[in-house]
Amino acid sequence: MILGAAGLLRGLPATTYWASRSYLAEVRAVSTPGRFAEAGKIMTGAGVSAGIDMGLHIAARSAGDDVAQGMQLAVDYDPDPPFDTGSTEKASPELQQLALRLLADAAGPRWPWSVPAMAGSPAW
């Protein structure tokens, strides 16, 4: 979101957390499916565990596959979720709506998560 607000995603492939995908159109980025998207020096990730995937990709590119694989083992990153509903492609529309309600409830009115709202707020 910060890259988009700064105008750095305009015309570039980008991904983000599924509940925020509409924001990519607002900043004129090209919404791209996948765990992460890369365009030159700019990379975007699609969520928490996707950020780990992106970090391992960067490590592999920078230091080699062996180092990235060692890092993956060092942090015990071996995803095996109990459910197969971790993406909008796999989750039903009803489950997606439930997730959005849970997110809205968790954020509540206390936390203004939009970039414009955060830009106008003092640092936490």
For the chain, what is the mean pLDDT? Answer: 89
pLDDT for 104 equals 81
Handedness of CA 106, 110, 112, 113 (dihedral sign): negative
Q: How confident is the model at residue 74, as a pLDDT?
A: 98
Q: What tens digit of pLDDT does each residue of 96-107 get? A: 999 998 888 776
| pLDDT surpassing 70 at residue 80 | yes
Cα-atom radius of gyration of the chain, to the nearest Å? Answer: 16
The CA distance from 114 to 11, in Å, is 21
111 is written with which tokens? 């936390």
To the question of pTM greater than 0.85 for the whole model, the response is no
Per-residue confidence band for 113, with pLDDT thresholds at 50, 70 and 90: low
Sign of the CA dihedral with 29 first, then 35, 36, and 37 last: negative
Mean pLDDT of 56-80: 97
Instruction: Look at residue 111 and tell me whether its pLDDT is greater than 60.
Output: no
The 3-state secondary structure of 33-102 reads CCCEEEECCEEEECCHHHHHHHHHHHHHHHHCHHHHHHHHHHCCCCCCCCCCCCCCCCCCHHHHHHHHHH
Task: Look at residue 46 in the predicted model and tell me its pLDDT.
Answer: 94
| Cα separation, 11 vs 30, whole angstroms | 6
